[in-house]
Each structure stands twice: as C-alpha cells, then as structure tokens.
Amino acid sequence: MKVFCGRANPTTGAVEWLEEDENYDYHQEIARSCYADMLNDKDRNAKYFQGIRAAVGRVKERGERAVVLDIGTGTGLLSMMAVTAGADFCYAVEVFKPMADTAVKIVEKNGFSDKIKIINKHSTEVTVGPDGDMQSRANILITELFDTELIGEGALPSYEHAHRCLVQEGCEAVPHRATVYAQLVESKRMWSWNKLLPIHVRAEDGEKIIVSPPEMENCPGAPSVYDIQLNQVPLHDFAALSEVVTMFSVDFSKPVNRASAHYAVQLKPIKTGTAQVVLSWWDIDMDPAGSIKCTMAPYWVQAAFEDIPWRDHWMQCVYFLPNEEPVSQGQSVVLTAFRDDYSVWYKLQKGRNEEATTAIHEETPVCLCQAHLLWNRPRFGELNDRSRTTQYVHALEKVLKPNSVCLSISDGSLLPVLAHHLGAEEVFTLESSAISHSLMQKIFKANHLEDKIKIIEKHPELLISSDLEDRKVSLLIGEPFFSTSLLPWHNLYFWYARTAVSSHLTSDVTILPRSASLHMMVVEFKDLWRIRSPCGTCEGFDVHIMDEMIKNSLDFRESREAEPHPLWEYPCKSISDPLEVLLFDFQQAVPEHTLRKEGSLNLSRTGKSHGVVLWMEYHLAPGLSVSTGLVQVSGEKGFCQWTPHCKQAVYFFNTVTEPESLINNPSAVAYAVSFNPKTGEVIMDFKLKLM
C-alpha cells in the first residue's frame, strides 16, 4: 500500500507530496540515530557488561536460572552480553520493527539465536504465560531507556509495567539505580537562551530600548529541557551559586511509580548572586553496592576531567528557573525538582525546607508568551547577540532613507522595530503563522509601536497591494530566519519570498541582505566523527554488529548528504582553508538554471580528514556581513570557533568508516556543489585525493 505524505519544502516553501509504502527504507534514519555513538561508548558498554555479569552471578549463587528481560534491546548488544555472562535465556524487546529485524540478524550471526528471543513489541504489550511472548517472568531486568533528562524516553512507565507484569519480585536490575544531581548557577549567557533581553539602539532622536512584553517576562518558558554538551561551556560563562546537590534517586530493582512527584532540597548558597539556571545530570549504578558507576557529570565536578568519556546520546541538562531570583551567601533556599512521566522542571523558594515542601505539586510549565514556541534556545541567543544586532543597525543606517517603505520577511524578527527606530517612513512585516503574528503584536505593543508597524499574516505569494496600503516597497529586509529551517541553506527561503513579492517592489528596491554565500571547510573532529564510525563494544566482549548493520536493512552506508550539528559543542580543527562555493544574488529573482561549482580544495594542515563543514554568510551591505558558521580559525593547529546561534551542516566522508590510512593521507578534496532552484536542494559530492 502506498501513502502520499505532504511536506512543506523548507527552502522553497512549496508543499511536496512524497510517496511512501510499507517497504519504506529506514536505513538513513537509523544511520543518523545515536546507535553508533552508543555502540562506540566504551565506558558505557564496559560498565553495562560488568553490571550484567555481576547480576547473573548473584542469581546463579542463589541456585536459580538466570532469565533476562532486556527492554529496548536495539542491536541486541546487552542481551548478547547477558548470554555471554551465563544467562540461561533472554527476552529482548524492541518496538521499532526495522531495528528488531536487524537485531534478529545480529543475534543469529553471533550464534545466540537459541538463547535470545527478539520480541517486536512495546514492552507494555508483552505477555507472559504458556501462549505468551515470555514463558515466565524474568529475574534479571536490563534496560537502556534513558535520555539526557533520564526519564524523557518513557523509562518510568516502562519500569512500572515491567515490575507489575514481566519480572519477579526482588529481581536484579541493570542498572540498579539512577541518581539525579543539580547545581544552581548564575549565567548571563545561558539566561540569554531563555528571555529577550533589552536591546539598545542609538537613533538620531536619541537612544531607543527594545523591551520584551510582560507575558514574556513572566513566562515559565518551554516545557522541554535544553540538553547540551556542558563540557564545552567554559567556567567563565557561569558562576556556581551552590554546591552540587542530590535531587532524587530511582531504584530500578523495586516497583517504580510513574505518578508525578516533587523533591525539595535545602541548600545554602556559596556565593551571592542571581539564580537563573539549574544545571543537572545523572549517574547510574550498575550494581547495588554502587561500585560500577557510569556518570554524566561535567568536567568541573570530576577530578580527572581529561579522561571524561565523550558521549552524544547522553549529555547534560540546562533548566531555566521561571524567574531570576536573588540569593545571598549562607542564607538558605529550597530547590525543588518536579517531575511527571517524561519531564523534569525546577523551582527555587526562599525559606526553610519545611515551609517549601508544603507547596503542592505544580503542573508542567507551559509557554504563555508564545516566544518559546516560535524561537528555539539558539534563536533567543541570536536575538540577544549585541554584536550581531549592531551589524544590522549599521547596515540599515547605510540603506534607509526618510521616505523608505520597508517590508520585513522573517519569522518573528526584530528588524521591523530597528527599521522604524532608524527612521523608515512606513514599516510592514510579513508573518506566515498565527504564532509569529501574535508574538510580534505583543512585542510591538510593549514598545508602543502597535500603530506604527503593520503585521501581515500571509505567505509571500498571497500578498496583494492593499496589504501594503497600495504602496511599493523600496526596502526589503530579512535576517533571514525561518523556524522550519534545519540546514543552513534552508533560510534561502528569503530568496523565494523575495521573488514571490517582486511585483510589489520598486524598480530601484534595496534588498537587505544583498546576497548570501555558501562556504565550506575540511575539518578533523575531536569526537563527533564517532557517530559515523565502526564500533567496538567493550574489553573482553567482541561481537559483530556494525558489519551486520551495513549488510542488512539498517544500512550504515554514507548518506551522501549533510546533516545539522551545533559545532560550538563539538571541537574540531581546520584541515583546509575556508572556501566560498556558491553565491546567491538576492538583487535578482531566483534563477531557473542550476548554480554549480566544482574544483579541488587543497589540504593545508596535517590531520584526519573526517568531513566537510558547510555554512552560510549573509552580506547585508558593503563591508557588513553576518555568518551562520565559522567565526575564526586560531593557532597553528587551526582550532575552529563557530557561532553558537546556528547549526552548521556536516558532510562526513565515508573514510570515517574505513582504514585510518585513507583518512590520514589525502592531499586535496575534489568537490562538486550545486543548487537546484526548482527543489531548493544543495547537492554535493566530495572525493578525497590521496597522496
């Protein structure tokens, strides 16, 4: 059966109908998931294997058969560890059919088919009994159901059901327990990811300040956690206001309750400051004694931070308090963690623990201002970036005239406010969604501009003259930022929008930005390459996993496409100089012909060529540009600094999955990059030229 699914093209804006059938190939989705990262996490795998061996040993010492239930088996790795450790039988549950099918092949290839049964169901649908999926309840429960927030993948409901229906009372569990930690901090940088801070604009008639609406000031923010690599955040970016405290623990060997709960901890600030953010992480004990521990603690908590294992499937959490709270050194406050089935949030209260714990559980925070629904965390940071705003102000000052009729096309941009303050005669802003319309109304009202900037809630192709009060646009502006964009070139939607409104522009219209360019550079990653590399498992345990994923339906082949990553979190160094590849001229409409460039990029530094990073630069006015990628390359080794507000595109070479000699010895990279204006796609091909 074939199914047609509608999808909006993020670059062109057109709705495309894609054909899918029951044999849809999921190999790319799996290849881009975190399986490679998890399988390559030697610390994780070694700790799991140690914990599983110990659990099987304890069961055997009691004279019992070791029957294992492995929930969320994925590749079947943990089940194979259990059988290797001496388990008599293992039920391995995997709900995702393509993954379950591959697990069957992996288990068979490694000779474990007689002791491992793959069950392609959600664990809550598994039955026990003579005619059930499991012949008997298990006495060892193995799981890997955790995300960065610990419970975000539904661990609690799965554990609750397993204890009620699938495992014996007093079963062994690997991991045995999890503990969540928190630290209260003040951080201007992190707080800029959550609130719109005042923006100062110097105009001819004095300084103007753009302020956020009251709804945003009092908004509890987005309900989702912001998970990042805290190990890439320097100490000068935050001030610790408390010691690290234990918030709560979950014992997985006992019945687990999914019901909402809260945990209050009294703490005395170690420093006077403004509490804004809670940094949080967890660790898991693989055994009851806590002697086998796997921790997510960031570098400033760990003694030997240079040996911290790198992981991308588990990171650390940034939680934003509902409001900034001043705290004084030594004066007690109470930090409360609330949780429901899938998420955690925090609140800070003054006073003693007894007073604070009388507070009843609060509902999950929900965004009230709509800004957190339209703008993600990096976008908040981008809007609060003073140097970036200054570039736009200087560019507007160069092109604005007293009689300028200005039209802004972006999602929830502050450029219309800047244009008005800098002297545009009339300002319109095109907002394509009800959310961006509503948000901009609130911002304009807070700045007393509701009667001075007109919001048009339409897609560009539907714009008519009366929307613009029969005026012609002499200045078309955009950042560009669109909430549907994932890859850097998706924001070329601005070009398509500019083309769609051409009939409403004056013959001598000024476009800001004037143009955009696509840039690329060959890099060596410190760690990110691991998500595409062949994987070992752990010391003393060797099975064939990746080769089976390569040969079967979950093909781990090179995608031949780029994928988005926030590279400020993933250190790398340049192997080549940056190169401008394509130029997009916004002064003209989108062309009908394909833009293409090919050539050879010499590698100027020694190192491992893991892939190519691509990004966009927007040229606002002569001498003024903003970048969505590279900020600078520093030092002889070529360490890269990236803008933290955008994701860059990463194209991994297939040599990441091949012998190191192919990675270490290229002399140049041959490239062919093209932009198809009909589809809005950037098509790329790279080949390493070996010495």
Residue 104 is given by DSSP the state H
Q: Which residues are marked as active site?
A: 144, 153
Q: Do residues 333 and 350 lie in contact, with contact meaning Cβ atoms separated by under 8 Å?
A: yes
Using alpha carbons, list the distances in angstroms from residue 610 to 115, 646, 658, 664, 672. 39, 21, 11, 9, 18
Report angle CA 193, 198, 204 to the nearest 5 degrees.
Answer: 140
- 356 burial class (0-12, 13-18, 19+ CB within 10 angstroms)? buried
Distance CA 573, CA 607 (A): 9
Q: 3-state secondary structure string, 197-263?
A: CCEEEEECCEEEEECCCHHHHCCCCCCCCEEECHHHCCHHHCEECCCCEEEEEEECCCCCCCCCEEE
Q: Is the dihedral of CA 128, 133, 134, 135 positive or negative?
A: positive
Residue 582 is given by DSSP the state E
Q: Do residues 276 and 342 lie in contact, with contact meaning Cβ atoms separated by under 8 Å?
A: no
Distance CA 595, CA 489 (A): 13
- 27-30-31-37 Cα dihedral, nearest 10 degrees: -160
Q: Do residues 497 and 460 lie in contact, with contact meaning Cβ atoms separated by under 8 Å?
A: yes
Residue 38, SS3 per DSSP: helix
* Rg (alpha carbons) of the chain, rounded to whole number: 28
Distance CA 611, CA 669 (A): 10
Distance CA 514, CA 494 (A): 11
Beta strand extents in 432-513 (DSSP E only): 453-457, 473-477, 505-512
Type of residue found at 270: I
Element (DSSP H or E) covering residue 295: strand 293-295
Distance CA 559, CA 455 (A): 41
Burial 16-29 (b: 16+ CB within 10 A, else e): eeeeeeeeeebbbe
Residues 290-293: contacts with CB within 8 Å, 24+ apart? 290/176, 290/177, 292/47, 292/50, 292/51, 292/54, 293/47
Token pair listed for 64: 């019992």
Peptide bond into 175 cis (omega under 30): yes
Q: Do residues 357 and 363 lie in contact, with contact meaning Cβ atoms separated by under 8 Å?
A: no
Q: Do residues 641 and 634 lie in contact, with contact meaning Cβ atoms separated by under 8 Å?
A: yes
